[in-house]
Amino acid sequence: MKTTSGIRSLFGANLKRLRLQSGLSQEAFADKCGLDRTYVSGIERGVRNPTIEVVGVLAKGLGVAINALFDFDSPP
Amino acid sequence: MKTTSGIRSLFGANLKRLRLQSGLSQEAFADKCGLDRTYVSGIERGVRNPTIEVVGVLAKGLGVAINALFDFDSPP
DNA sequence: GTGTAGACTCCTGTCGACT
DNA sequence: AAGTCGACAGGAGTCTACA
């Protein structure tokens, strides 16, 4: 398939920013979401490509709307 | 992992709605996105769990922001 | 035009261990 | 606390074909 752009990096940076705002460590956050710590690490660094179900649990873990994780919006 | 809810179904219904608004058939839309037609069919019916990169190409194919595809927002 | 099924490749998501 | 590696099962994404 044809990967549009650096969506993963943008998403990851956004996730990291929101997680830090909530004052959680990667590990504490991963536990709260029921996800693996190393996987969350990969997502934040843009080397992983999570599914929308994972996006859902991440948003829930942060206590924010899903849209908050995508508020960088489709780059060229 | 722990699937939060019917995110896939909500996303799929939303995608279908936006696609129909744009007047495209599943096939024409899939071609425009560079995705497989049967896969788009699966996404719209909520039986598939796309990655955020696929979400990006779907949004681009529709000419909308990624947020538009998630404007149902995290169900309980 | 759409839904489904089967078969296939490659990656998502989990885990343990070391830095 | 966070990055990275190797290994693994299961699922994402493609394709062909029929209803």
**Is the Cβ atom of B22 within 7 Å of strand C at any atom?**
no
- For an interface test with B, give the residue of A33, A64, A70 to mutate (most B CBs within 10 A): A70
Please answer whether residues B56 and B63 qualify as being in contact, where contact means their C-beta atoms are separated by less than 8 angstroms.
no
**Is the Cβ atom of B61 within 7 Å of strand D at any atom?**
no
* DSSP string across A14-42: HHHHHHHHTT--HHHHHHHHT--HHHHHH
User: For the CA atoms of A11, A16, A21, A27, what is the dihedral angle to 10 degrees?
Assistant: 130
Nearest residue on chain A to B62, alpha-carbon basis: A74
Q: Are B60 and A4 an interchain contact pair (Cβ–Cβ within 8 Å)?
A: yes
What are the tens digits of pLDDT across the range A16-56?
999 999 999 999 999 999 999 999 999 999 999 999 999 99
CA distance B21 to B28: 14
pTM: 0.90
What are the tens digits of pLDDT across the range B2-59?
554 599 999 999 999 999 999 999 999 999 999 999 999 999 999 999 999 999 999 9
Query: Can you give the pLDDT at residue B4?
Result: 47
The structure tokens listed for B34 are 């560079």
Nearest residue on chain A to B58, alpha-carbon basis: A4
CA distance B20 to A38: 40
When pLDDT is cut at 50, 70 and 90, the band that residue B73 belongs to is low
Partner residue opposite B74 with nearest CB, options A51, A60, A71: A60
